[in-house]
Amino acid sequence: MARRGAGSFYARAADEDRRGNIEFMSTILFSSPIFGPVHSRRLGVSLGVNLLPADGKLCTFDCIYCECGFNGDHRTRSPYPTREEVARELEQTLERMQREGRGPDVITFAGNGEPTMHPEFADVIEDTIALRDHYFPEAKISVLSNATFSRRPAVFAALCRVDNNILKLDTVSADYIAHVDRPQVRYDVDELVKGLCAFEGKVQIQSLFMAGSYEGRSVDNTGDEYVAPWLEKLRLIAPEAVYVYTIDRDTPAKGLLKAAPEVLDGIAERVRALGLSCQVSY
């Protein structure tokens, strides 16, 4: 899940500490497989895991607002880091942090695209849980995903095992998704919602709202024609938390605008009226 493309409040943390990151103009690519730790006001000390190559972007979405840029602008021919490489570098980092007496509050799977694309995603999660339990058992494990592969049995099972299963749902309008999120794989929003319901509440939803236009069409999804159907799906999904946010950095597409704070607050209040926890990032 590329940051902002697959949805990520984690991107804000990157603004506070860029060590180990690779910047290309208005977009950011992360080191692989481990980056940070990043000091996040929301998450605390967050250690990043990037299961995608460090020199490019791989994602099942090609969001027009993704801070990692468009997929075609950062193509890579590098392989995924192997399960063994991820475990080795993660253990080395956790071991060093333990020696230094500063553990992470959270280990977050984010980076240069969609983490569940990794062919050994479920095995990596298993390794990460074991390492977390050994070095810093109080730390949480978070996955930021666009949910496109969440119905795959192995991915679903792995997401059920992490502390924060944070999945993207910007809207339930198929037309809007095609124009803005631009799925690169088969994507049926009704099937996706069924998959989100299958988590039986062990899921957190993050949704990006914005204004402006792209290719001559409005991308404003803050109106009731978008928000009301989205709220109805949230009622069915019954997530343990909802994150409402807006664009925060430069985007590869021009003409996009932040949603106003009062608009985001209004959407959040409607979420809370459903009895759901909701956090807002402006």
In whole angstroms, give the CA distance from residue 3 to residue 248: 11
Which one, of 141, 142, 124, lies nearest residue 83 by Cα? 124
* pLDDT score of 249: 83
- Residue 201's SS3 state is coil
Comparing 128 with 12, which gets the higher pLDDT? 128
The encoded tokens of residue 219 equal 């991308």
Contact predicate 66/252, CB 8 Å: yes
**12 falls in which pLDDT band (50, 70, 90)?**
very low
Cα torsion for 76, 254, 257, 229, to the nearest 10°?
Answer: -70
Contact predicate 8/110, CB 8 Å: yes
Share of the chain above pLDDT 70, in %: 89
- Tell me the CA end-to-end span of the chain in Å, nearest whole number: 20
* Residue range 135-140: mean pLDDT, rounded: 98
Residue whose pair of structure tokens reads 């929301």 in the numeric block: 42
Residue 244 is predicted with a pLDDT of 97
Range 84-111 burial, b when 16+ CB lie within 10 A, else e: eebbebbbebbeebeeeeebbbbbbbbb
Mean pLDDT of 44-68: 93
For residues 244-263, average pLDDT: 94
Task: Calculate mean pLDDT across residues 204-225.
Answer: 98
Give the pLDDT band of residue 85 (cuts 50, 70, 90).
very high
pLDDT score of 73 more than 60: yes
Structure confidence at residue 108 (pLDDT): 96
